Structure 1
Amino acid sequence: MAETWDITFDHLVRTPNAAAGTVLEQALDSPVAEIRERAVAGLLRRPEQSGHFAVLRRIDPLDPAWPPRFEQMPLRFLQSLREALVSSEERLRENAYQVVLWCSLYDTIPLLVNLLERPEAEQAERAGEVLLELTRRLADSLAAPHQPPNVSGLQRAAEQARRALAIGFDRYGKHKRREVIEAYIPLIKENVGILREALASTVHPARNALLRIFREAADPSILQALCGFLQLKDIPTSVLGVLSQRDDPAFVRELLRQVGAEPPTKVRRNLKRLLQLKCLNNLSRILPELNESEQSLIPSLIIGTSIPTSQALPAVGEILRHGLPAARAAAAEALGHYHGAEANALAIQAAHDPDPLVVAAVLPQLRGRGLSGALPIILQSLESSHPLVRRAARRCLREFSFRRFLETWDMLPPDVRRDTGMLVKRVDGHTTGLLRAELASPFRSRRLRALSVVQELDLVSRVESSVLPLLQDEDPAIRAEAAAALALTDSPAGLQALRNALTDPNALVREAAENSIRSREERRIPSACEPSAREATLRPSPTLAGALTTEQPLARSAESPDPLS
């Protein structure tokens, strides 16, 4: 039976007799689905326009079986489809639009533009909707990361569409259809210089409508074009006004994307022309709409503009309070560009942020702000469990170097000497290495001073291998001081060295060795590798800050390693 139907319908399609078309049109209303399906396929291949219109009238937009039927359309049907688009019959016209959208018929864009230029056209509203949808699809296809197989055809269609839309754009004064402008922008978003000419001219018919679209439209392509003006050498003042006034999250997201973390020279120059940004006044509403990387770009955007401090600081504060961690860190770093009571309060707030990135970003600013509580905060940060925070704190205390501490050792009172030394030990990661060098110094006074320092700072265990050879020093005072120092270590090597010192020819050395051995036996000495109780409770005294800060900080060839890690 199927073979018989094949023969019949093939004959109805191929015969030049126009009556065959009438038969196929009648078959469209058959109760048999297979006959209706064959009738549709046959009429699409027939040359009669009446048959094509008959198919279009019977389309059910909600029936998923219809779109596949138009995947392969003969040229003659395409011609009929164009006629249907300008028809005064609403059903025929609407179904023709539906086929255009199903099949993404970009070649119809020039016709749609022409329809919009006819004020009397009944279908102008629908033509505008279809035009916008087609141009967005075409622009997205051309911008796809992987080129579609028919890219050359798409490029030809896009060029035809641009020419037609450019004409419609220049004729805006006649038709007043903003759909023409909105459809034009996605296809030229990479070349907004074309639009700049219209905006620079106060007499261009589309200028005001274009600005209105830039102020109101949320379409991604339009936002991309709007923010793309920042890439131009000479951005129109009217566009700067739009950029200043928009505050919707979609716009802010696109603006941040195009500005980026390190904007090009042209973008930086144009940002400096922005004297206000309305979006910064509404960050409480915008921040939840942005992801962490987007939020973290806002502080650099703020710094890059010329907006007043009265607007910038509240925006930075909003990010510090409600931003995600990376954004709060960026905001903390941006605080370095602002001064005054409000900026200082925000800096203190950032210094107590739970995220180490934020704390590390703000610590280097505290002392430069002249805050009375800056030094205690920095000292507390030295004990942080986060290496990033500890490194930042040490960078803030570069003048607390071990070399300077040695230079001022003899001038410091005993209590300040101890506290200052404990701080220097935590700040300067070169302390141990420099102490070893001092213990091996050819100068007697320096060796004696180094032995006093290692005992005062509980560092004997760290440099024990450098202390042991001093028990053989030619100077009995140094041998005695070395024996006294070994009381603070519990290593077997130290104990054996003390026992050997009991036979030293000098009585003072023997006495010091005996006392050290007795001290080791009487009490258990905590490991010098762990902070002592006194060190753990160290607080800066008034003399401490001034003890080492009267001179300029010493230059360093490299950042100190972390003494606490």
Structure 2
Amino acid sequence: VEAAREELLSPKEWSRRAAYQVLATLRPREAASILSRGMSDASPVVRESIADSLEALANRYYYHLVAVRMYGDLESRRFVDENRANMMESLGPLLRTYPLHAKRVFIDLVIESGDDGYPLVAETLAARTEPATVAAFLHALSTSITEPAVELILRLSLDGRPRLADAAADVMRLRKDAGFPALLATVFSRMAPDRFDSIARRTREVLWWPTVESAPDIDPFTAAKLLEFLAHSGVDAPRRDAMILFFLNSDYADVRVRALATLQSLGHPGLLQTAETLLQDPADDVKLAAARTIIGINPANKARILMPLLSSGSEEVRRMATREVASASFDRYLRSFDRLPPETREAAARALAKIDRRIVDRLAEEITALDPERRIRALRVIDYVDAETDLRQNLLALLNDPDRRVRATAIKIVTLTESVEGMKHLVAALSDPDRRVRANAIEAFEDSGDPRVVPVLLPFLRDEDNRVRANTAKAVWNLGNEEGKRTLQKMIDDPDEMMRLSAV
């Protein structure tokens, strides 16, 4: 080794050539930096020999570098750690003398080295003193199918130095390979979330977009990552949304669904129109996604938009459409309730109950509305569709409603005589200050058909209200007590016209 070191200074080119070869063989770890300095040797023979020796060393290092990245090989990691400093030190001179040896492996090695190699790449592309070296880098980056190459391109595109961003743009224009979008998505998927977001937010122009547009068809995984990147990007909204809309032409239903969801998350101004168009999609999953989007927007004509889905071949699609159309119809029904004739009200309510399985839930919501008019309408619909049993607990709460009309309607439709709890509610209702509540409570006692309730009712034969007294008389009479009949006969002769009318 010492003899070889001495021969490096020999005036004979063959001695110097042999000395470099000996050092490359016996001291491979140190040889890289020594050999790189020898690239300035005056002899082309020596330089060519050194370049070949360096190429062999670089290929070995490159192999272990890739093994670490792809497989996490421990032996390769040890080799890289032991040789990194010398290799990085030698790459600078090798890049500066690239026109003399034209060894592509050195370019690839710098690219594969990631953060360690970036300063060398940036220096070469920013200085541009060696056009051949710059051209070699651009060619390597435009043809490489490794993840470090893609990461390097992205880093260059966001570098503040103009020449570096220009270099990234040149590389993007050169990339025509159909596999580049998938490679890009893989790189995105392995980035830390904060770095991914940072790169996306700083991106104002998507230089790689033409490559995506020219790709035959993009798989769901790739599309998902590219859509996520676009959604987080700093691209102006119209241009960004146009790129996202491109994915609606995908052959994959998953991609079309993801694109629609992305547009929805971004508040795309044409979302409703896009969703309406996708209702015609051949895939049921896309139809469902479009329908859910329309439901979320809740346009005034939602029922009309979703109506065609009622004949869908998919049971799930039909079920969703039926539910939403019925829900919209229920809302319209309640709004027009007071304008409908009584027979139409009941018929329409029963028809809605047949097609809308959620009508009980809707009624449960309505009877808690702040507006007492809505609560009353809901109670009447509950009576029409025989939903008293399902909503019993909800209805019991209305017996204490602050609005007397609500209390009166509730007491009328709830079956209370089948339990001790119900009887307590009825007895309490007999003391309600509102005459309609008392009258309806008495009717409920009558409907029980139980003669044992007569003693509870007898005091109300003297009630000052004509309706309460008449209801009580009828109830007592129907439950088998003649006192009811006698009370009605007295009322017919009462000087109060309303008493006589109620008795009749």
TM bucket by the smaller chain? 0.5 to 0.7
**Which residue is equivalent to 1:155?**
81
> Secondary structure in 2 aligned to 1:284?
coil
Corresponding residue number in structure 2 for 1:240: 169
The one-letter code matched in structure 2 to 1:138 is L
Counterpart of 2:367 in structure 1 is 435
Q: Does 1:322 align with 2:252?
A: yes
Greater alpha carbon shift after TM alignment, 210-219 vs 266-275: 266-275
SS of residue in 1 equivalent to 2:279: helix
- Structure 1 residue aligned with 2:104: 178
CA deviation string 1:473-529 (max 9, x = no partner): 998997687555659xx999999974158866766699999x9xxxxxxxxxxxxxx
Matches within 5 A, 1:171-250: 171-189=97-115, 192-205=118-131, 206-229=133-156, 232-233=159-160, 236-243=165-172, 245-248=174-177
Partner amino acid for 1:315? Answer: F
- Aligned residue runs from structure 1 range 321-470, under 5 A: 321-322=251-252, 325=254, 327-336=255-264, 337=268, 339=270, 343=274, 347-349=278-280, 353-354=284-285, 358-359=289-290, 362-363=293-294, 374-376=305-307, 409-411=337-339, 414=344, 418=349, 426=358, 431-432=363-364, 434-435=366-367, 448-456=376-384, 458-467=386-395
* Cα pair distance change 1:451/1:372, threshold 3 Å: closer
Any idea what SS the aligned residue of 2:216 has? Answer: helix
8 Å CA contact retained: 2:249, 2:256: no
Offset of residue 255 of structure 1: 2.2
> Quick check: 1:267 aligned with 2:216?
no
Q: After superposition, what is the alpha-carbon deviation per residue over 1:286-324, rounded to whole angstroms, capped at 9, x for unaligned? A: 42xxxx5443112233443569579726631233x315x
State the TM-score, normalized to the length of structure 1.
0.52
The structural deviation recorded for 1:213 is: 0.7
Look up the equivalent residue of 2:252 and give its one-letter code.
Answer: H
Alpha-carbon distance in structure 1 between the residues aligned to 2:273 and 2:302: 12
Superposition pairs for residues 519-530 of structure 1, below 5 Å?
A: none
**Could you tell me how far apart the structure 1 residues matched to 2:408 and 2:272 are?**
57
Aligned CA RMSD, in angstroms, stands at 6.0
Query: Structure 1 or 2: larger helix share?
Result: 2
User: 1:528 maps to what in 2?
Assistant: none
How far did 1:281 drift?
A: 2.2
CA distance 1:322–1:339, change in 2 (3 Å):
same
Question: Does the C-alpha gap of structure 1 residues 115 and 364 become closer, same or farther in structure 2, counting only changes over 3 Å?
Answer: farther
Counterpart residue identity of residue 166, structure 1: G
Match of 1:295 in 2: 223
CA distance in 2, matches of 1:195, 1:469: 76
Conserved? CA contact 2:379–2:409, under 8 Å: no
Tell me, yes or no, if the aligned pair for 2:398 and 2:407 is still in contact at 8 Å: yes
- What is the match of residue 10 of structure 2? none
> Secondary structure of the residue that 2:154 maps to in structure 1?
helix
- Once the two structures are overlaid, the 10-residue window that deviates more, 254-263 or 369-378, is 369-378
Alpha-carbon separation, structure 2, partners of 1:454 and 1:185: 73
**Which secondary structure state, in structure 2, belongs to the residue aligned with residue 459 of structure 1?**
coil
Q: 3-state SS of the aligned residue for 1:179?
A: helix
Query: Structure 2 residue aligned with 1:86, among 12, 17, 21?
Result: 21
| d(CA) in 2 for partners of 1:433, 1:310 | 38
CA distance in 2, matches of 1:369, 1:188: 55
* Of 88, 92, 100, the match for 1:166: 92
Q: Give 3-state SS (helix, strand or coil) of 1:131's partner.
A: helix
1:499 maps to a residue whose letter is S
Change (3 A) 1:339 1:468: closer
CA-CA distance at 1:448 after TM superposition = 4.6
Task: Tell me how many residue pairs correspond in the alignment.
Answer: 406
Task: Kindly provide the amino acid, as one letter, of the partner of residue 223 in structure 2.
Answer: Q
For 1:434 and 1:426, the matched residues in 2 are separated by 12
1:455 & 1:272 partners in 2: Cα distance? 62
Q: Is the 8 A contact 2:58 2:109 kept in 1?
A: yes
CA deviations 1:159-205 (Å, max 9, x no partner) are 11001011111222333332221122222446635423332334344
Residues 1:318 and 1:208: Cα distance change in structure 2 (over 3 Å): same
Higher normalized contact order (CA 8 Å, seq sep 6+, divided by chain length): 1
Q: For residue 411 of structure 1, report the CA deviation from its aligned partner.
A: 4.8
Return the match for 1:499 from 448, 459, 474.
448
Displacement of 1:215 after TM fit? 0.6
CA distance in 1, matches of 2:475, 2:413: 5
Distance in 2 (CA, whole Å) between partners of 1:282 and 1:126 is: 42
State TM-score, norm by structure 2.
0.57
| Aligned with residue 209 of structure 2, among 247, 271, 277 | 277
List runs of 5+ in structure 2 lacking aligned partners.
5-16, 424-443, 461-467, 479-504
The CA distance in 2 between the partners of 1:311 and 1:476, in whole Å, is: 56
- Residue 180 of structure 2 corresponds to which residue in structure 1? 251
Report percent identity of matched pairs: 15
Letter in 1 for 2:388: V
The residue identity in structure 2 corresponding to 1:432 is: A
Give yes or no for contact 1:247–1:279 (8 Å, CA) kept in 2: yes
Does the Cα contact within 8 Å between 1:132 and 1:179 map onto a contact in 2? yes
- 1:236, distance to aligned residue in structure 2 (A): 0.9
Counterparts of 2:216 and 2:197, CA distance in 1: 30
Offset of residue 246 of structure 1:
2.6
The 3-state SS of whatever aligns with 1:200 is: helix
Q: Which secondary structure state, in structure 2, belongs to the residue aligned with residue 236 of structure 1?
A: helix
SS at match of 1:451: helix
- CA distance in structure 2 between the partners assigned to 1:481 and 1:229 by the alignment: 73
CA contact (8 A) 2:399 2:407 kept: yes
Highest CA radius of gyration, 1 or 2? 2
Whether the 8 Å contact between 2:141 and 2:149 is mirrored in structure 1 is yes
SS at match of 1:86: helix
Residues 508-519 of structure 1 correspond to what in structure 2 (within 5 A)? none
SS in 1 for 2:285: coil
Give the Å deviation of 1:453.
Answer: 2.8
Does the 8 Å contact 2:363/2:378 carry over to 1? no
Whole-angstrom distance in 1 between the partners of 2:472 and 2:44: 113
Tell me, in whole angstroms, the C-alpha distance in 1 between the residues paired with 2:287 and 2:208.
Answer: 32
* Separation of aligned partners in 2, 1:133 and 1:357: 55
